[in-house]
Each structure stands twice: as C-alpha cells, then as structure tokens.
Amino acid sequence: MRKTTLILALMLIVATITLGNVQNASATSTTVTTKKDAYVDEAHPSTNYGSNVYLEVCPETANQLISFVEFDVSPYQCITVTHATLKLYAHDTSEAVSDRTYRIQAVTGAWTEGGVTWNNQPSVGSDYVEKLCPNSTDGLGWWSVDVTSLYTSGLVIGFRIMDSGGSSTAFTNFVSYDNGTSTYYPRLEVTYTYSYTYTFNAPKYENDTSYGSLNATANYGTKTSTTFTVPSSGATIYFNNKPLFYAWQTSASNYRILYAQNDTTFTFYVPESTYYVYEFSLRDYMGVVNSSSMLECYRVIGDELQLTERLSITNRASALTLTLNIGSTYYLIMNMTGYEYHFGWFLAGSSTSNTLTMYGYDFPSQIVLAYQYIRAYAWRTDNNTVILLSYENTEADTNLVEFYVTYTNGTTAHYDNSTADTVTFTWNGADTMTDYVVYMNSNSTKLGTITYKQVMVHLIDVSSPFDLSSLGTFPNNMPATKVVPALIIIFVAAAFSTLTVPLGLVMAVFAAAIERYMGWYAITPYGMNADIEFLFIIGSLAILYALYHAARRG
C-alpha cells in the first residue's frame, strides 16, 4: 500500500512539473469597433457617403441604398474564432420596414471609406445570412446578427448590409462611425480561444522608415505554420501554438529568419536598398556550440542596436546565411545557454563567403586560483588584428559588463557591453603595429563594480622572406601558397629517404618547421607557438622512430 501511494505521489509530482510550463488555451470575448463604414446610393452612383453620420439601407428601385462596414481583426488572424456577432444601432426606421429581411454578406474586394461609391462598390462572397430588419414596432436600438459562418481570418473583415426583398420605400438608418457618439458605433463581438500573445511593432526598413504591412509566417517546429500579416502600424496578435521562428520575405526568392526564443515583442526589418545573402562558416574551436545556440545579427537603427535576424545552429556543417544590406555594418553575437560570444562588427562588402571563428576562452590557472567570483582575461592573436576579452561571473549576478579598448593616450577605439554572466568579446579591427589598453568594468549585485586592465602590445611578426602568392595558382586553381610548401616537404622526405626512411621522416618534419617559422602556412588556429609545439611532438616521435630503426639495424 505504501509503495502504491509513493508511486502515485511521484506520478503527481512529475505531472505537475511536466505540465507546469504549458500555457492552457483561454476562451475570451472582445468587442471590435469599426473605424471604416459608408453607404452607397444607386440614384447618385458616383457620390461618396463615407462621412455620413448614418448607414442607410433601402431597397427602392433606382434609389437603392446599401451599407458597408469593416473591422480590424488583425489580432485574431492566427487563432480560432468560435463566434462572431455583428451589431448595428438602429437610429430610425420607416413603419413599412417591419416585414423586411436584410441580407449580410462578407466583403471580398477592396474599398476605402472616402472613395467607395455605387459604381465602384466592392465585391462580396456568395454566402450570406439573413435576419428581419429592425422596425418601429419592435423598438429601435441594437440590431444583432450572427455572422460566424461568414467570418474569415485576416487583417480585416467587412460586411455588406442590404435589403433582400423587392422594391420598397422602407428604410433603416444605422448609426455610423462618423456620428460622433462612440457608444453607438458599429461593432463586431468575437469569441475566440488562444494560448499565446505576442506584440509586433510596425515593420520597418533598416533606415528606420516605415515599410507598410508585411506578410510573415509563424513556424511551430512540427512542420506546421501559419501565415499572418503585420499591419503597417503594428499589432498584438494571438496564437494557439507557440511559434518556434518567424520568416518574412525580403524579395520573391529570399526570406529572413527570426527565432522567437523567449521574446514577446518583435520588429521585422527589411534592407532598405540592395542586399546580398552572406554565407558564414562557423569554426567552433571552443567546442561550446550546440543545436540550441543562436547566431544573432544586429544593426544600429534609430541610434540603437536592433535585432534583424536570429538563426538556429541546427547543422554546423552547413553555412549560415544572413540577408545584409550592402555597405552596412552589422554586429554578430553567438548566444548560447549562459554564455555569449561577441564576434564584433561585420561590414557587408563584396565577399559573400566568410568565416566566424570562436577562439578558446579558458582562463589561465593563476587567474582561476586567484579570483573566485569575477574572472577576466584579455589576449591578442598572433596576427595582431584581433583582441579578445573573456569574462566570467561564477555568482551569476551580473548587472552589466563593459569592454573597452583604448589607445595608449586614452582615446577609445572600441566599446561593447553585455549582461551575460559568461561572455567573450572580440574586436577584429586592431592595427597590427599599434599598442592598446583593454579595460573591463563589471557591475554585479554581490561585489559591486570591479575594473580590470591589461596592456595589449603588438606582437612582433615574423614575416615570410618569400611571398609565394606571386607564383599564382597551379592547375585546378590550387594556390601556390599551399602547393609549393607541400612539394618542398615531399622533396626533402624523398631525398633523405634514399638513405633511410626514418631519416627522411625526420628531415620532412624539420622542413615543415622551417616553413611554418617563415609564415608560409598555419597548422592550428592558435598561432605559431601552438604550431611549433605540435611539430616538436611530431619531430620527437620521428627521432625516436629513427633511433629505434637504427638500433634494430645495428
């Protein structure tokens, strides 16, 4: 009995934990008030009545009056609307109207309040609903019609109201939006279910100008998706499922991607002029990138960094593609669970194939031992062009960490910041012959403000005495910078192997070391010292093999 009770209790706990993050669908009702209505007059076919205070309906031959009304339903385009009721306030009617039936149909064509006339009135769907019209016998007031069967998802839903019988002078005047009394404006009451709510700001070009309405697709990660439209003014939109990512077109054949993560507010940006699709190959020498990692692309828009794309690293063997405005500068960040890697600024130039390199960030042992909570370490790559700063807050209470690179006179050359507890900053704009100073200001809840400083002197570059690039390329576009060093190593190995194979192997490693010292190639991404250490190990093994071979021959 105790075992059964324990099992049931464990099942209840697991169920509670499992279902705790599931947001249940909510059923609710809301009222949408029109801001667009008008009637048209058969007797005056080219006259617009969009500013009239009444919406008039009358079936008289040659004097027929038909009304149109439209509602903004953009928030509900991605969910299920279970019920919709059209409500019009009848201001006055004729006595003869008591036996008339009004027909309501969904509008399918475009129209404007200030431009619609009898001659250009919009098309409507073939489906309709009918209801007896209001009359003076029943009393004036709200006239309600169930239009659920006519409701379709989209930015707007419009209805045409007309008398469905033969000619008559019977009429009804409904209060219009232009009446000035909001209490009686035409309205649409909708009942719907939803699980998630997201805010979409007005779509924009990257030069911070209005784009207008934008069509996008919400993808749910289960091979299902919903197409929706963000109005030119933006909207709060309801969803039945949580979108995994959004996609929107920048041209007929190209899309931008923005993974949702835990964001609830989004702005979709489109390049303002000519753009390319840039490919980025990722070189993760840290070994920290996984399928949940995100590459984020930012651009300064309206004096602030704004997110333009966010890509999932689902397949690191494939190139990552970003749609970038030619000539513009973007900021790239790899965002991982509990860690950020800042690649820094990227100029969208003529080269559309690029490499993003993530250098290792392991702290030296003396820093790990000396600093228990806040750790910072800066270094400069062998080619002098990249300066990096790694930061870690083991207490996970970072409020802000700032990365400064200054010239020796104190002038700022680069600045970046983050609120992550573990982050690596990268500046790839350093001059090869200039010294810099790196500052780190960290503000955390427990320790307050801490400042780190390190001088970054330029490293002496051992330049190659021979520039192999002048030799051009070999057949199949093989560059001479790769072929010539390989041929020299093969020649040395073959020449000395005529004496003994082990000697040929030793001399080949020795030749490779000389070529590396002259800067003809790189073996690892960690600089010359790492390459020399690697060749030293290989050379030592070759010498041991040569000694073993000599001992056996002796």
**Predicted confidence (pLDDT) per residue in 47-105, tens digit:** 999 999 999 999 999 999 999 999 999 999 999 899 999 999 998 887 666 678 999 99
Mean pLDDT of 516-543: 75
For position 16, what pLDDT does the model report? 35
| Domain ranges within the chain, ordered by starting residue | 26-193, 196-263+272-358, 365-456, 468-553
Cα→Cα distances 111→38, 57, 118, 321, 497, Å: 10, 18, 11, 40, 88
In this prediction, residue 486 carries a pLDDT of 85
Per-residue exposure over 348-366, b if at least 16 CB sit within 10 Å of its own CB, e if not: beeeeebebbbbebebeee
User: What tokens appear for 370 in the block?
Assistant: 């000396």
The answer on pLDDT for 41 being more than 70 is yes
pLDDT at 315 over 60: no
Token pair listed for 280: 């980025």
For the chain, the average pLDDT equals 85
In eight-state DSSP terms, residue 225 is E
Question: With left for phi above 0 and alpha for psi between -120 and 50, is residue 154 left, alpha or beta?
Answer: left
The enclosing H or E element of 16 equals helix 2-19
Between residues 143 and 498, the one the model is more confident about: 143
64: Cβ contacts below 8 Å, ≥ 6 apart: 41, 42, 58, 162, 163
Percentage with pLDDT > 90 across the chain: 53
pLDDT over threshold 70, residue 151 = yes
Structure tokens at 323: 């749609």
Q: Which pLDDT belongs to residue 8?
A: 37
DSSP helix/strand/coil, 523: coil
* Res. 4 pLDDT band, cuts 50 70 90: very low
The pLDDT score that the predictor gives to residue 3 is 42
What is the residue type of 16? T
The fold of 365-456 is Immunoglobulin-like (2.60.40)
**pLDDT for the residue numbered 237:** 96
- Least confidently predicted of 3-12, 55-64, 209-218, 387-396: 3-12
- Whether the pLDDT of residue 300 is over 70: the answer is yes
The 10 Å Cβ neighbour count of residue 498 is: 9
Instruction: Kindly report which listed range (69-73, 455-459, 466-470) carries the lowest average pLDDT score.
Output: 466-470
How far from the centroid of its chain's Cα atoms is residue 266's Cα? Answer: 8
Q: What is the mean pLDDT of residues 464-482?
A: 67
**Can you point out the beta strands (E) in 220-326?**
225-230, 235-239, 245-251, 254-259, 265-266, 269-270, 275-284, 294-301, 304-312, 320-325
β-sheet with 436-444: strand ranges across: 412-418, 398-407, 436-444, 448-456
> Which of 133-147, 228-242, 266-280, 389-403 bottoms out in mean pLDDT, i.e. has the lowest?
133-147
Considering only 14-23, 353-362, 418-427, which range has the smallest mean pLDDT? 14-23
Q: Would the CATH topology of 196-263+272-358 be identical to that of 365-456?
A: yes
Instruction: Please state, for a pLDDT cut of 70, what percent of the chain lies above it.
Output: 86
- CATH code of 26-193, in short, is 2.60.120
Query: In the CATH hierarchy, which top-level class contains the domain 196-263+272-358?
Result: mainly beta
What pLDDT is stored for residue 104 in this prediction? Answer: 97
Mean pLDDT of 24-48: 90
CA distance 357 to 361: 12
User: In the prediction, which pLDDT does 524 show?
Assistant: 67
Which two three-digit tokens encode residue 321? 């593609």
Rg, the chain, Cα only: 36
Residue by residue, DSSP assigns 127-174 as --EEEEPP-TTT-SEEEEEE-GGG---SSEEEEEEEE-SSS----EEE
The residue-averaged pLDDT of 132-145 equals 77
